[in-house]
A and B are shown apart, each in its own frame.
Chain A
Amino acid sequence: MNSVLLEVEDLRTTFYTDDAEVKAVDGVSFVLRKGKTLGIVGESGSGKSITALSILKLLANNGKIVGGKVQFKGEDLLTYSDKKMRDIRGNAISMIFQEPMTSLNPVFTVGQQISESIMKHQNLSKKEALVKSVELLKLVGIPSPDKRVKQYPYELSGGMRQRVMIAMALACNPEILIADEPTTALDVTIQAQILRLIRDLQKRLGMSVIMITHDLGVVAETCDSVAVMYAGQVVEYSDVVTLFQQPKHPYTIGLMNSLPRHDVELEKLESIQGNVPNPKEMPLGCRFAPRCPAATDLCRREMPELMKDTEGNDIRCWIYSEKWEGEAEVIVYGEKRIAESRRTETILSD
């Protein structure tokens, strides 16, 4: 049950512009197990979408994967030819996008668009593919699918279109579904429906999901493990319960503090000061140091590695290392805590 399906190791993706190199993804590693959901959380520009696109090798022309491995069932996808990748995309690994309003081609009917990948990957005739499209629409909970299948995207609401996108992605029973902010463009009630749908389908079809989001609520609701990304790096990687109960990285703590909660009364919601660093001029040391309330000279001077703590979770912060002197005070949900330092043992990358 717990077998590893996808393993991303030290993935590095760089974009080349006329005057600069932008390291959008800088040494990202994580593991996706069969039937599980991995969340990738981060602000805009943290590299989470680029990580997903890199897995499928769908980068724009000026983007290049410069290092690392993407092991899918023991084979490195980065060594695959373009033709081999096309057989993977939409077949073994599918992806759904943020904007359901523009993710469907306006000139074809819903049925034609779902049929397209069925016909490509499963060698079915047009008629058989259309029958299957109707089944898929039913699966994703679209009422009167036999009528909807003949409609054009503009006749469907945003939620409906996202369901169609999911149907397209599921057409060939993928083993992995990458959902890139699937609910961001939808309103709140529809968001819950779509998330529930993804979870139900995941259970029924036994697939693994990579959920990319900036919404910690979505993470809490859907994920088993979470990678928190900041400025192209994973800063904290742990199971979802630990992350919410004991956030360690000051960035994660900041994110948690900026969430409204029912059980803690606060006068004012906290926010993280400052902005994401300009990717063209990354700070020398820890990338979060300029915004971190606990940052010291060490943080500003040297970049911390991703370290494993005693519970087996990964963290990229000096506070939890042996180099840290004294105690660090952090405020979690308005309550002062002493960050338990020196709990880290092994250094992951050396």
Chain B
Amino acid sequence: MVQHTPVVGIGQKRSSPRVEAYKTFWRRLRKNKAAVVGGVLILLFVLTGIFGPFFTTGDPNATQISNKLAPPSGEHWFGTDNYGRDIFTRIIHGMGITMKVGFLSVALGGTVGVILGIFSGYYGGPLDTFIMRAMDILLAFPGILLALAIVSVLGGSLQNVIIAVGVFSVPAFARIVRGSTLTVRKLEYIDAVKALGASDARIIFKHILPNVLSPIIVQLTLRIATAVLTASGLAFLGLGAKPPTPEWGAMLNEGRAYMQQAPHLVLFPGIMIVLVVLAFNIFGDGLRDALDPKMNK
């Protein structure tokens, strides 16, 4: 194996350690081809989600009944649906919704989960028991069932889907962060900063949080894939985004009835969901390997 370690010669200026660590991380991530593909796809999806709608011609909800269920052609790349709406335009507009649901719900679940986990791990005792048992209760429900229950209580809207998916992401974060916190809490430098008069809040957010960041980053990425899948699942079941919102899950649901005559109605939204989930998953796996200090070289 060729070693890519940068050679530091005499008199050569050495870059700062933070830059070095960053370089190591990049080098490892780049070696993993699948992760690079995943990363590029994610970047593409995000950019499409933000800027796509400005480049597509026309309204995603513009109907053209005379041209309904048209197969893919030069004019309509992905064909049209049962109302004659351009599927390509709808997919592009749906990208923004998918990204929004994915990122926001995980941001919500991640924030709450990380805080619960870090407090649980740091303080231990009854607080730990209480928080972790609550997490166990949430984990006892299959994810989609829990999200379903929450959406049915709150009512079906995109915002509530984000909340529901966020809630069901909380336990995963809480458990991972609690575990890492338990390890870091016992290290001597935590005692040392305590002996220097640091407060609990300071120890938690300044000294523990940065040391448990890598598993959080990996989990964030992997969780987005799950969140996207769950949100689409909810929309497919008729909860969440309501027609005519160009949500991919909802599009699948609408197209289901025409699967025999016009399979492209479900084919393209389906492919897109698979691509997004796959991209986040392989990128998350790559991140995990690149951030793992034990995987040196």
Question: Which A positions have Cβ atoms within 8 angstroms of B?
Answer: 56, 58, 61, 86-91, 94-99, 102-108, 116-117, 120-121, 150-152, 154-155, 165, 168-169, 171
Contact = CB atoms under 8 A, between A and B. Distances in A.
Interface stretch (B51-59, B63-71, B151-159, B185-193): B185-193
Contact of B196 (A90, A99, A150, A152): A90
Given A90-B195, A91-B197, A102 B211 contact: no
A94 B196 contact: yes
A58 B195 CA distance: 7
Interface of B: 16-18, 124-125, 187-189, 191-199, 206-207, 210-211
Contact of A95 (B17, B187, B195, B210): B195
Which 6 residue pairs across A and B have the least CB separation, nearest first? A90-B196, A90-B197, A89-B197, A95-B195, A117-B196, A102-B188
Contacts of A107: 210-211
Given A107-B210, A108-B210, A168-B196, 10 more contacts: A87-B197, A88-B197, A90-B195, A91-B197, A96-B192, A103-B192, A116-B193, A120-B197, A121-B197, A169-B195
A56 B192 CA distance: 12
Contacts of B191: 58, 97, 103
Nearest to B206: A116
B129 to A, nearest CB: 13
Nearest to B211: A107
A61 B125 contact: yes
A130 to B, nearest CB: 16
A214 B192 CA distance: 21
A89 B194 contact: yes
A261 to B, nearest CB: 34
A58 B192 contact: no
A107 B22 CA distance: 13
A105 B185 CA distance: 11
Contact of A58 (B125, B194, B199): B194
Most buried by A among B189, B194, B197, B210: B197
Contacts of A108: 210
Contacts of A87: 197
Contact of B192 (A61, A97, A120): A97
Contacts of A117: 196-198
Contact of B17 (A105, A120, A154, A165): A154
A102 B17 contact: no
A159 B19 CA distance: 25
A105 B207 CA distance: 7
A105 B196 CA distance: 13
Contacts of B196: 89-90, 94, 116-117, 120, 168-169, 171
Contacts of B188: 97-99, 102-103
Contacts of B189: 102-106
Nearest to B213: A107
A104 B187 CA distance: 9
A61 B197 CA distance: 17
Contacts of A171: 196
A89 B192 CA distance: 10
Contact of A152 (B17, B125, B187): B17
Contacts of B18: 152
19 contacts: A61-B125, A87-B197, A89-B194, A90-B198, A96-B192, A97-B191, A102-B188, A103-B191, A104-B189, A104-B192, A116-B193, A116-B206, A120-B198, A121-B197, A150-B16, A151-B17, A152-B18, A154-B17, A169-B196
Contacts of B206: 116
B13 to A, nearest CB: 12
Nearest to A153: B189
A215 to B, nearest CB: 20
A58 B198 CA distance: 12
A107 B188 CA distance: 14
B198 A56 contact: no
A121 B199 CA distance: 12
Most buried by A among B18, B187, B189: B189
A94 B192 CA distance: 9
A234 B17 CA distance: 47
Contacts of B198: 86, 90, 116-117, 120
